[in-house]
Structure 1
Amino acid sequence: MRNKYGAIYHDLADKIIHHIYPVGSYLPSETQLSELYGTSRETIRKALSELLTNGFIQKIRGKGSVVLNLQRFNFPVSGITSYKELNKSLNMHSQTKVLCIEDRHVPVEKFDYQTTHELAATYVERLRTIENDPIVLDHDYILKTVVPHISEEVAADSLYAYFEGKLGLNISYATKTITVEHPTVEETKLLALSADQDVVVIRSRTYLEDTTLFQFTESVHRSDKFNFVDFAQRQKIN
């Protein structure tokens, strides 16, 4: 079932991205889509729900699903999602360029982390682009005590696919801080920013299931390319 509605989701997302369904237009009805894809309305609803979650459409009562402007991608703040997974779910068709892999110590002051000794890590710097347009600059520090070596091939594909699929690591949780900052000279150049354009920086510390800290990440996002979204539930404070 997941493969079925997932395939429909990706097909509809592609058609929205390539303006087969232009901004402001309505998708075919659930009944029409069911006939078009030869599946049940329940499967169509699941595909539409995923389009809604990822910012492709908005449902209008009595009218249907209207196509939204995709100048920005919705970036989930809660949860831990790899860039490769995000790229697939949002149909961004993004590419990754590895700029640097080398041994470094973690600049712990950047991540508000208190320690009495230097943390040896593999530093990975990657630039994410869409149609040669730079959108994200990632700085990753992976502790050598957990992952001794990372190849350029792994960095160009997905660190998490390697950590979980090849090394069998159980990634569990992360702490994150999100700030709006003025970019460095290097960031301005790599992200093709204007002189007065700020960036959104997400700094995180990621832990394994046994609470072992193994990764520090600094992701620098172009603020004109992403919306940062979260899911919140009401909690009363007595």
Structure 2
Amino acid sequence: MIDKSSPIPVYFQLKNDLVKKIAQGLWKPGECIASERELCEIYGVSRMTIRQAIGELVQEGVLTRLKGKGTFVCEQTVKQQDMMSFTEMIKQTGRELKTEVINFDVIDTPDDMQDIFMLDKVYKIERRRIVDGECIAVETVFIPVDYCGHINEEMLKGSLYKILENFGYSISNSTSSIVAADITDEVKEKFNTKENFPVLKMIGKTFANKNKLLFIEEALYRSDKFTLQVNISRREGEIL
């Protein structure tokens, strides 16, 4: 399992193998993994190497340490770090994504969007995003009909970004505002569940070529299953 002659660091090989075992279900969320002593015997490496691999997995949110009890597998969340479609994001994690189209209609442009789109009709698309059999997000998207050729419900079971790219758009950037949302009966119905859970509401605008607004999205995410990571860096020359 560990090739000590490889140019890949031993701790990194070990880290990847632990992730693989978790993905295969050897240790499930909430379960304690093998102890450091047991892992030393299994892999034939030092305790320092074991601690380095586990330490990185703790930092990445894959594992958690409980003092006096051991190291446990965390409940895994969908993590979004960069701008990419939900479909691309799930594909990178190797998890199974299913998209259910709840509603797909052509409607008059809502009053609060008429100054933004200045067009008569928009597609209103509402979809459930289901990861490994569990609904993680509900998206409602508004796209001017004039921006697209023919769209049908079957197409919407895939990536919306890909559909727009096929119509010649190059998606360049987006802006979003994020707030906490109440878990109402209506929200539970959208997620097709009766349980309570924390919810994030994200309202975003997605652009092509930096200035052409392609669509407006209102999305609800289960924040116990979805993590949005924001990376902020200081601009060169900026004075604090």
Which TM-score applies when normalising by structure 1?
A: 0.67
Look up the match of 2:188: 188
Look up the match of 2:79: 74
> Distance in 1 between the 2:150 and 2:219 partners?
21
Following superposition, the deviation at residue 117 of structure 1 comes to 4.6
Provide, for residues 6-45 of structure 1, a one-character-per-residue CA deviation record: whole Å limited to 9, x for no partner: xxx999756423323556648x99xx8xxxxxxxxxxxxx
1:135-146 matched pairs, under 5 angstroms: 135-146=136-147
Following superposition, the deviation at residue 234 of structure 1 comes to 3.5
3-state DSSP class of the match of 2:76?
coil
Task: Choose 1 or 2 for highest CA Rg.
Answer: 2
Gaps of 5+ in 2: 1-14, 44-55, 65-70
Look up the match of 2:97: 94
Judged with a 3 Å threshold, the aligned counterparts in structure 2 of structure 1 residues 54 and 173 are, in CA distance, closer, same or farther, namely farther
> Distance in 2 between the 1:89 and 1:200 partners?
22
> Distance in 1 between the 2:60 and 2:109 partners?
33
Judged with a 3 Å threshold, the aligned counterparts in structure 2 of structure 1 residues 132 and 19 are, in CA distance, closer, same or farther, namely closer
Contact kept, 8 Å, 2:198 with 2:224, in 1: the verdict is no
Look up the match of 1:125: 126
Look up the match of 2:207: 207
3-state DSSP class of the match of 1:101?
strand
> Distance in 2 between the 1:216 and 1:135 partners?
20
Judged with a 3 Å threshold, the aligned counterparts in structure 2 of structure 1 residues 163 and 83 are, in CA distance, closer, same or farther, namely same
Identity of aligned residues (%): 22
Following superposition, the deviation at residue 163 of structure 1 comes to 1.6
Count, aligned residues: 199
Contact kept, 8 Å, 1:134 with 1:190, in 2: the verdict is no
Judged with a 3 Å threshold, the aligned counterparts in structure 2 of structure 1 residues 220 and 67 are, in CA distance, closer, same or farther, namely same
> Distance in 2 between the 1:69 and 1:163 partners?
36
3-state DSSP class of the match of 2:147?
coil
Q: CA RMSD in A?
A: 3.6
Look up the match of 1:174: 174
Judged with a 3 Å threshold, the aligned counterparts in structure 2 of structure 1 residues 91 and 163 are, in CA distance, closer, same or farther, namely same
Contact kept, 8 Å, 1:122 with 1:149, in 2: the verdict is no
| Higher relative contact order (CA closer than 8 Å, sequence separation 6+) | 1
Judged with a 3 Å threshold, the aligned counterparts in structure 2 of structure 1 residues 12 and 83 are, in CA distance, closer, same or farther, namely farther
Following superposition, the deviation at residue 81 of structure 1 comes to 1.0
Gaps of 5+ in 1: 1-8, 33-48, 59-65
Provide, for residues 95-120 of structure 1, a one-character-per-residue CA deviation record: whole Å limited to 9, x for no partner: 111111111245474x8x95495652
Contact kept, 8 Å, 1:16 with 1:56, in 2: the verdict is no
Which TM-score applies when normalising by structure 2?
A: 0.66
Judged with a 3 Å threshold, the aligned counterparts in structure 2 of structure 1 residues 84 and 14 are, in CA distance, closer, same or farther, namely farther
Contact kept, 8 Å, 2:149 with 2:167, in 1: the verdict is no
Following superposition, the deviation at residue 184 of structure 1 comes to 4.8
Q: Is it true that 1:217 corresponds to 2:217 in the alignment?
A: yes
Provide, for residues 45-78 of structure 1, a one-character-per-residue CA deviation record: whole Å limited to 9, x for no partner: xxxx9x89975469xxxxxxx88513322233xx
Which of 5, 8, 26 aligns to 1:20? It is 26
1:27-106 matched pairs, under 5 angstroms: 55-56=61-62, 68-76=73-81, 79-106=82-109
Judged with a 3 Å threshold, the aligned counterparts in structure 2 of structure 1 residues 53 and 169 are, in CA distance, closer, same or farther, namely farther
